[in-house]
Amino acid sequence: MGLANEPAARFDPNVADTLQNHLFEFRQQDGSIEAVDLIAVNILRGRDHGLPSYTRVREWCGFGSVSDFNDLSNVIPADTLNRFRTLYK
């Protein structure tokens, strides 16, 4: 009932650095540091359970396919899309 009656929390596109870069952090014998990226683990869990990709879900919901970043301009802010374009060159 809480899910149906309580307002949703404000969306925050950023993940705390600790959860993304330092979760279960430990130092290797050679001095390097390893840690778990919680976001990556959650994506992998979804794949393990057969969750479809974002683009597949968009199509299923009737929002159309995505062939480039311009197709996402109505759902992702321009500054975020520009960061994605830079990252995925």
For the chain, the structural domain boundaries read 16-51
Residue 23 main-chain phi, psi, to 5 deg: -70, 130
Residues sharing a CB contact under 8 Å with residue 73, sequence separation 6 or more, in sequence order = 81
The per-residue pLDDT for range 12-39, each reduced to its tens digit, is 677 788 888 888 888 999 999 888 888 8
Q: What pLDDT is stored for residue 11 in this prediction?
A: 67
Residue 1 has pLDDT above 80, yes or no: no
Per-position b or e across 66-76, b if 16+ CB within 10 A of its CB: beeeeebeeee
